[in-house]
Amino acid sequence: MTHALIVIDVQNDFCPGGALAVPDGDQIVDGINVLTNTAEAVILTQDWHPAGHSSFASSHPGHTAYDRIDMAYGPQVLWPDHCIRGSQGAAFHPDLNVERAQMIVRKGYRPGIDSYSAFFENDHTTPTGLEGYLRTRGIDTLTLVGLATDFCINFSAVDAAQLGFDVTVRLDLCRGIDLDGSLAAAKTGMKDAGVQLTL
């Protein structure tokens, strides 16, 4: 086994009606399920924030959602409260096939730091443990799908490529937020990192 499908954050709060809905975020679920049925290994990631997380705009008086501020670890977009651990919003989309998942990586659970990437917190140094898991299983090729293209997909794909994995992002099975051109910038950054972008 050398290949894994990594399904990024297909959770209720990122789908229509959710607290941080990605446009058409639910439209990728059926296609992802097709891939999970044939993938050698399936890994899911799940945003899992405590209430009052430092990435929430509500934790910063005078700021509103989508403001950008500087944190100790670097720039941070402030988000609406979302994916609070144990909530319905943090649950996987009800139609997502989770039965074949062999691992779930929860991220963003440390109150003082956000985590977009499946591999590192936003300080780019604190590991989630996913790299070690993949190495011990002999997995070197990754396909990424899920939400959102320009944030958690982007950061995960670039980190994976920089760690030496062979990475493909299926853009047809991702959806983006696109804050001030972030989607185009993410695609350029992924290509520059050696990530294969396919439709």
The pair of structure tokens assigned to 138 is 């002999």
Residue 15 annotated as catalytic:
no
| Three-state secondary structure call for residue 187 | helix
Q: Which of 47, 81, 107, 150 is labelled catalytic?
A: 107
Q: Determine contact, residues 83/47, Cβ cutoff 8 Å.
A: yes
Q: How many residues does the chain have?
A: 199
Residue 9 annotated as catalytic:
yes
| Three-state secondary structure call for residue 54 | coil
Residue 164, by phi and psi: left (phi above 0), alpha (psi -120 to 50) or beta?
left
Q: Which of 81, 152, 159, 174 is labelled catalytic?
A: 152
CA dist., res. 195 & res. 175, Å (int): 17
Which residues are marked as active site?
A: 9, 107, 152
